[in-house]
Amino acid sequence: MNKKFDVKEKAKDILEETFDSEAIMLLGKISEEMQLIFVSNPTPTFADAVRIVTHYFVNDGRPAGFIEDWLRTAEEHCKSRGLDEADQPKAMLSDLGVFRFMWFLKEKGLTEEQINIVLTGAVQQATDQQNQ
């Protein structure tokens, strides 16, 4: 349990040391947008996930080739994790959320190690909240 606490605290320290309040608000906005996607699509189909992911990346200015590669990789990743077809769309949307967080952190200059710590801390925080 101490290790969990240490990672969450280290993640918090990294964010506080690196980001100003505007960047923290942008991270919160990403989280809110992803929550809205899940609330609006509680049982997404594969077509829903493709539509949502494609819409996000088109609006983000990504080229069609990037979007196709991302979708193919996400689908392969779902299958490699052994997810059944019904769970794959939610996993793809979760992957979109992780991608968005990672991309934001990378754009803000965090190192791969810092990004891993922040994401691990976020997962632990979410897990702790679900268990309460």
DSSP string, 66-83: HHHHHHHHHHHHHHHTT-
At residue 43, the 3 state secondary structure works out as: coil
> What pTM does this model have?
0.82
Residue with tokens 């309460």: 132
The pLDDT value recorded for residue 72 is 95
At residue 20, the 3 state secondary structure works out as: coil
Of the candidates 45, 11, 2, the one whose C-alpha atom is nearest the C-alpha of residue 126 is 11
Residue 108 is classified by DSSP as T
The pLDDT value recorded for residue 113 is 93
* 11, 118 Cβ separation under 8 angstroms: yes
Which percentage of the chain shows pLDDT scores above 90?
58
State CA 68 to chain mean position distance.
18
pLDDT at 22 over 90: no
More confident residue, 106 or 122: 106
Of the pLDDT bands very low, low, confident and very high (cuts 50, 70, 90), residue 1 is: very low
Of the pLDDT bands very low, low, confident and very high (cuts 50, 70, 90), residue 14 is: confident
| Maximal C-alpha separation, the chain | 45
Q: Tell me the two tokens of residue 41.
A: 């699509």
